[in-house]
Amino acid sequence: MPHERTRAVIQTREFLVELSREDSLPERVRRDARFLLRHFPAERDVLLAGQIEEQSQTLPIGVLGPIFSSSISHSAL
């Protein structure tokens, strides 16, 4: 579901931020987390993408429907 995918992407970013700051982890792990974060979407970007997808019924977004949601909860749909 789009809201579950949205929540997962947001939580994954938060997890990568935690990993990048955890001094008890090897430097390689922290460096890899920082590298991945360079191009990982921020929460506002994911929510905006969901909002655009929800509001643009006429745009061809594929046979799967919306990818993201403007909310991380099901009730907002």
**pTM (2 d.p.):** 0.74
Domain enclosing residue 51, as ranges = 2-76
- Of 31 and 77, the structure prediction assigns the larger pLDDT to 31
Instruction: State the pLDDT at residue 77.
Output: 44
Q: How many domains does the chain have?
A: 1
Q: How many CB atoms lie within 10 A of CB 22?
A: 12
Q: Which residues, 6 or more positions from 5, have their beta carbon under 8 angstroms from its beta carbon?
A: 67, 68, 69
Q: For residue range 24-76, what is the model confidence (pLDDT) as tens digits?
A: 999 999 999 999 999 999 999 999 988 888 877 666 655 556 677 788 777 54
Instruction: State the pLDDT at residue 1.
Output: 85
Instruction: State the pLDDT at residue 2.
Output: 85
Cα separation, 21 vs 34, in Å, equals 9
**If 0-12 CB within 10 Å is exposed, 13-18 middle and 19+ buried, where does residue 21 land?**
exposed
Average pLDDT over every residue of 8-31: 97
